[in-house]
């Protein structure tokens, strides 16, 4: 294998970052989109929620993204993913796809004995298979250009079984994301494509059955060693590094962003 040049990776800054799950107003995908927009990155924002996408696109343009395209997608549906990514690729003036950040996901608080196969599979279809669908669809273009970054949201639940709100199906779906990210890192090693998982916990969004307010918020804060909840801005800045010009020497790793809830 010939030696790759770190400087060559600066090209990533001009390529489009695809962010799934960007519609949720207080969500992680939105935080990621805004952090990347502040860096002047071209964006493709994907989500089920079309109205939320329009607001997200406006916010990203205002924050500094030079090119924002949106596409409705159901990440669980391979044909829908293919159509959405094709729309992004065919958008006039859109730079090629350089990065994928998978933030679309659902929680699942169902107790184990009440879980049906359908319920279990739905969680895996969105959280795990959704990541696979997106990564498989964008990878050929990244391999062709010899440069790409794939980042996916796992969860502390993958490591400790969860219990904050979600239960076993969610933990299994996120453990699957981490395995996929590690396996893919090895399969594409040396091609210029790198991968990463982020395992957050206690980020202040609405995924845990609604807003964290009042006593429930106090409980979450009390359980978080650093003494507060995390922000989507902090998560966005971590992604910004991973998909930026200096993020190319890390691959296959899981980054914990959990306020010390689980260390190691």
Ligand X SMILES: NC(=O)c1ccc[n+]([C@@H]2O[C@H](COP(=O)([O-])OP(=O)(O)OC[C@H]3O[C@@H](n4cnc5c(N)ncnc54)[C@H](O)[C@@H]3O)[C@@H](O)[C@H]2O)c1
Give the total of residues touching ligand X (CB under 6 A): 30
Of residues 169 through 228, those in contact with ligand X by CB under 6 A are 200-203, 205-207
Of residues 122 through 141, those in contact with ligand X by CB under 6 A are 126-127
Of residues 84 through 123, those in contact with ligand X by CB under 6 A are 103-106
Question: Which residue stretch of 8-16, 68-76, 93-101, 180-188 sits at the interface with ligand X (rule: CB under 6 A)?
Answer: 68-76
Establish whether 255 is a catalytic residue. no
Among 12, 18, 19, 28, the residue binding ligand X under the rule CB under 6 A is 28
Question: Which residue stretch of 3-11, 46-54, 86-94, 116-124 sits at the interface with ligand X (rule: CB under 6 A)?
Answer: 46-54
**Residue least distant from ligand X (Cβ):** 105
Residues 33 and 42: their CA atoms lie apart, in Å, by 10
Question: Which residue stretch of 44-52, 132-140, 184-192, 246-254 sits at the interface with ligand X (rule: CB under 6 A)?
Answer: 44-52
To ligand X, the closest distance from the beta carbon of 244 in angstroms equals 20
Q: Does position 153 bind ligand X by CB under 6 A?
A: yes
To ligand X, the closest distance from the beta carbon of 232 in angstroms equals 7
Of these residues, 84, 103, 125, 170, which one is catalytic? 170
Residues 170 and 122: their CA atoms lie apart, in Å, by 10
Q: Does position 47 bind ligand X by CB under 6 A?
A: yes
To ligand X, the closest distance from the beta carbon of 144 in angstroms equals 26
Residues 64 and 91: their CA atoms lie apart, in Å, by 19
Q: Which residues bind ligand X (CB under 6 A)?
A: 20-21, 23-24, 27-29, 47-49, 52, 73-76, 103-106, 126-127, 153, 155, 200-203, 205-207
Active site residues per annotation:
170
């Amino acid at each position: 294998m010939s030696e790759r040049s770190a400087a060559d990776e600066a090209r990533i800054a001009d390529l489009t970052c695809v962010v799934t799950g960007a519609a949720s107003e207080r969500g992680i995908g939105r935080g990621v989109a805004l952090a990347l927009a502040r860096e002047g990155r071209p964006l493709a924002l994907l989500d089920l929620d079309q109205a939320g996408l329009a607001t997200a696109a406006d916010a990203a343009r205002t924050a500094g993204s030079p090119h924002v395209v949106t596409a409705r997608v159901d990440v669980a549906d391979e044909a829908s993913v293919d159509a959405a990514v094709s729309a992004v690729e065919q958008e006039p003036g859109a730079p090629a796809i350089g990065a994928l950040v998978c933030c679309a996901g659902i929680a699942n608080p169902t107790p184990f004995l009440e879980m049906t196969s359908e319920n279990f599979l739905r969680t895996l279809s969105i959280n795990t298979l959704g990541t696979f669908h997106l990564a498989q669809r964008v990878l050929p273009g990244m391999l062709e250009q010899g440069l790409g970054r794939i980042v996916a949201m796992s969860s502390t639940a993958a490591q400790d079984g969860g219990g904050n709100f979600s239960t076993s199906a969610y933990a299994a779906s996120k453990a699957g994301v981490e395995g996929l990210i590690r396996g893919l890192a090895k399969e594409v090693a040396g091609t210029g494509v790198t991968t990463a998982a982020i395992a957050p916990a206690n980020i202040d969004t609405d995924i845990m059955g609604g807003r964290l307010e009042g006593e429930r918020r106090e409980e979450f804060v009390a359980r978080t060693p650093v003494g507060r909840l995390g922000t989507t801005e902090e998560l966005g800045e971590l992604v910004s590094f991973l998909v930026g010009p200096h993020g190319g020497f890390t691959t296959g790793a899981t980054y914990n962003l959990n306020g010390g809830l689980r260390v190691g």
